Structure 1
């Protein structure tokens, strides 16, 4: 069990617990990817096991989410099998004051955007370090790209003022490969004045599958913070 000695982990757990508490019996739930949503999946499994929650179905956004859901006993369905997603819960790498996001640190942003955009309600779970005044200030924009198009997409991104870098594997030689078999360019922009416009522009480059700017999708942001030595969760 995580102790208060690791405040980031404590914040992640508290905010995950708050999000998992918003799931009701009978819901179809979009299951996000990443360290905070891993706790959400664990807490949903705990609620199912205790009988506090019944008859939920999960739509995973990645192989990681799928593996965790199976581990914690959450039945999984695909988008072919459900009409709607009642609630999606996911993390973010950056959140601005308008609740716009940059996601894709785990290279799962394509599936995440599909699931999160379909959800009736989309809850973002973050710790306070992810809050920014302006998107792109701490995190590059991840772009999923077909492997054959890496060079032309990189050139197009440079023309837009971005600095693209091919994401490389950690403890693996070669680039990161997404669950769809594509590659990821991490693009640093000096400033993003209009996130919605940049999101559209990037997705219009031939060879781009999806990018990590999420505009107008988020309903609630739950933020984990440490105040007076105690973890608290606040809403945005």
Structure 2
């Protein structure tokens, strides 16, 4: 079992390195999750110490509330228009910097913000780096209307990709279906491994009722991986357009 204190040190190392990428006056996307929350706290500390301005767009209500409470300026994405940089966490990172996100059920807003940015940078600890995506459950946000029919269509898509007999779990919180910030449901796909992430992403995106899935493909440019000794390793995707 990973020592939580060691994990937090790794996350903090990644967050500190990411804060150094922020420049005064930037339009910045703020991610969601435990590592992203550490980043927001470290960022607010730097802004307070150095006294410069930022325009921030948050990927969830929780992040917006945290950032605002810490004195950062949070605006609607539409008011900002476009972002210079988004910094967010990830649940899995593969060697090509493809990601699974959505452990915090914010992947819809996270993908909107990430793709409305010139650059997306991921911060994570070493436990999030994998050889192949899929051990972490893949979140799929669906609208409540007809969600069981949507689940059937997802199962058929998995069968076509030879991902048969993989559980599709309705995410719950306190024995009730979890609702996202948009009021939708989340289905978690227990896939174990994803041989062809692009094919799966295309299948899921084509299903009526699916709002968004947690596969972030060809979006992340740089991953900053925190290590237990407080150092970081940077993984780059050199062919970023």
Match of residue 171, structure 2, among 167, 173, 177: 167
User: What is the rounded CA distance, in whole Å, between the counterparts of 2:145 and 2:4 in structure 1?
Assistant: 47
CA 1:55–1:194 in structure 2 vs 1: closer, same or farther (change >3 Å)? same
State whether residues 157 and 163 of structure 1, in contact with CA within 8 Å, keep that contact through their aligned partners in structure 2. Answer: no
Matched, 1:9 2:2: no
Which aligned runs of 4 or more in structure 1 are off by greater than 3 angstroms? none
Cα distance in 2 for partners of 1:15, 1:146 equals 34
Match of 2:230, SS state, is strand
CA distance in 2, matches of 1:81, 1:144: 25
Distance of 1:196 and 1:64 partners within structure 2: 30
Give TM-score, length-normalised by structure 2. Answer: 0.90
* Alignment-derived partner of residue 139 in structure 2: 142
- List per-residue Cα deviations over 1:32-82 (Å, max 9, x = no partner): 00001101111111111112x511011000011101111111101112212
Q: Where does structure 2 lack aligned partners over 5 or more consecutive residues? A: 236-241
| Larger strand proportion of the pair | 1
Question: Could you tell me which residue of structure 1 aligns to residue 198 of structure 2?
Answer: 196
Structure 1 stretch 198-207 or stretch 122-131: which is displaced more? 198-207
Structure 1 residue ranges without an equivalent (≥5): none
Count of residue correspondences: 226
Task: List aligned pairs for 1:1-236, cutoff 5 A.
Answer: 6-51=5-50, 54-136=52-134, 138-159=135-156, 160=158, 161=163, 162-169=166-173, 172-226=174-228, 230-236=229-235
- Partners of 1:54 and 1:199 lie apart in 2 by 40
More contact order relative to length (CA 8 Å, sep ≥ 6): 2
Q: Distance in 2 between matches of 1:84 and 1:174?
A: 36
Q: Distance in 2 between matches of 1:32 and 1:5?
A: 21
Is the 1:164–1:187 contact (alpha carbons within 8 Å) kept by the matching residues of 2? yes
* Aligned partner of residue 177 in structure 2, secondary structure: coil
SS in 2 for 1:73: coil
